[in-house]
Amino acid sequence: MENIKKERGDLVSLIVPVLNEEESIRPFISAINDKLSSLEAKLEIIFIDDGSTDKTVDVIRELQENDSRVGYVKLARNFGKEAAMTAGFDYARGDAVVPMDVDLQDPPELILEFHRLCLEGYDTVFGLRTSREEDTKGKRASAGMFYRVFNWLSHTEIPHNAGDFRLIDRKVVEALQKMPERNRFMKGMFAWPGFTSIGVEYNRPGRFAGNTKWNAWKLWNFALDGLTGFSTWPLRVWSYIGAVIASISLLYMLFIIFRTIAFGVDWPGYASLMSAILFFGSVQLISTGILGEYLGRLYIESKQRPVYIVEEFSEGSDNG
């Protein structure tokens, strides 16, 4: 059994999505060389260029000439980080695969502990952020709320403060490759197959160079993809809301009938009528919007377009 565990960790593939990160790539490689020199496995480093408009690909090509471990996949345009990671999993050859950011917010030295736990038999070893001091208060609060809401609504539980930084065994990669959806929420997809997993706590530092590509709007849509991709509760809840509103309406109707019989017909106020119309109109618009979100995702899935398109691929010539 121990021999089998060791064999699956013989080659570790780092998949690194990049978008306009020409300033970060060289420091990243230097950190990998410095921090992972004692790694008891061969190493493969695959950069996934997600439609960069700067000299990111040129820097990668230059590094590849001097480092045979380096390979890259250049996507035809910007498909998004989830699609870029999907491409990385498809092209990685490792017995174990580590998706990580190039900005060194994912400490490379943690991979040593990930690999050790992999050899002990864990199929997934994920990083748990113990500190998010580099984030704004609003982002920390919204992230904490998202994890709570997601785990409450979904049958697939994801650990609080666990990002994409993790080591996953080849069989987990193969399970991910069997999940063909176009709207991809990788944190949920990592958790969905199951298998044995363990978290490793770490302090997440700030970016070494460059600027984050995430803003509030992108984070909102990312959260929306996660909730709609792993839960039907937003659809189901409207059955309960409808039942409650129908019950209240029935009681109010009975009250109106009783009052009319007992006291005669009066003239109700304009304000109460408009309030009722606006309330029920807003409820209908919200429920229609949620139906539209799911219908739009079904439309995208039905077209069966590929998750990404590769323009250029260059494999590392050696993994020693």
Residues 106 and 163 in one domain: yes
Q: Spell out the SS3 assignment of 214-258.
A: CCHHHHHHHHHHHHHHHCCHHHHHHHHHHHHHHHHHHHHHHHHHH
Entry pTM: 0.69
Residues 282 and 163 in one domain: no
> pLDDT per residue over 99-155, tens digit each?
988 888 888 888 898 888 888 888 888 888 876 566 556 555 566 666 666 666 666
Domain-embedded: residue 114: yes
| Residue 35 amino acid letter | K
CB 40 within 8 A of CB 115: yes
Q: What's the domain count of the chain?
A: 2
Domain-embedded: residue 221: no
Residues 239 and 147 in one domain: no
Domain-embedded: residue 220: no
Residues 283 and 309 in one domain: no
Between CA 173 and CA 168 the distance in angstroms is 7
Between CA 8 and CA 41 the distance in angstroms is 10
Residue 269's domain comprises 233-303
Residues 293 and 309 in one domain: no
Residues 74 and 183 in one domain: yes
> pLDDT per residue over 76-108, tens digit each?
988 888 888 889 998 988 888 999 888 888 888
Residues 275 and 169 in one domain: no
Domain-embedded: residue 242: yes
How large a percentage of the chain has pLDDT more than 90? 7
Residues 72 and 198 in one domain: yes
Residues 186 and 292 in one domain: no
Domain-embedded: residue 165: yes
Residues 158 and 15 in one domain: yes
> pLDDT per residue over 255-302, tens digit each?
766 766 766 655 566 556 656 676 776 677 777 777 777 777 777 777
Domain-embedded: residue 223: no
Residues 154 and 276 in one domain: no
Residues 240 and 114 in one domain: no
Domain-embedded: residue 225: no
CATH number where 19 lies: 3.90.550.10
